[in-house]
């Protein structure tokens, strides 16, 4: 038997290809290793959260050493005070309020 009409073969092949690609993607997405890195409590998300919170609080991007619990004194932080000049980066009124 010779089939002369093969119009649907390409569509079937693309559907099967999409099914295989989707199943591979879902297998990778649901893996333990993927969730360990990118999941709700993943390493990457925790690192980005810590750096973002530190940059928001201190005014510059930091690394893990800058956000250690011992470095919480913001009165000597480089974005707050200039130790050489003995001034802060905040401004106030030129004259005292009446």
Q: Whole-prediction pTM value?
A: 0.43
pLDDT one-digit tens code per residue, 29-60: 999 988 888 887 888 888 888 888 877 776 66
Q: Look at residue 13 and give its three-state secondary structure.
A: helix
- Tell me how far the alpha carbon of residue 27 is from its chain's centroid: 23
- Give the CA distances from residue 88 to residues 55, 71, 77, 78, in Å, rounded to whole numbers and listed in that order: 19, 18, 10, 9
pLDDT one-digit tens code per residue, 57-84: 766 666 645 545 555 555 566 666 676 7
């Amino acid at each position: 038997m010779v089939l002369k009409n093969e119009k649907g073969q390409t569509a079937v092949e693309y559907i099967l290809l999409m099914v295989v690609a989707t199943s591979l993607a879902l297998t990778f997405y649901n893996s333990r290793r993927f969730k360990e890195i990118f999941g709700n409590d993943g390493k990457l998300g925790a690192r980005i959260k810590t750096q973002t919170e530190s940059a928001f609080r201190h005014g510059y991007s930091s690394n893990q050493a800058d956000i250690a619990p011992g470095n919480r004194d913001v009165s000597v932080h480089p974005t707050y005070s200039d130790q050489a000049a003995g001034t802060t980066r905040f401004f106030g009124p030129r004259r005292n309020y009446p």
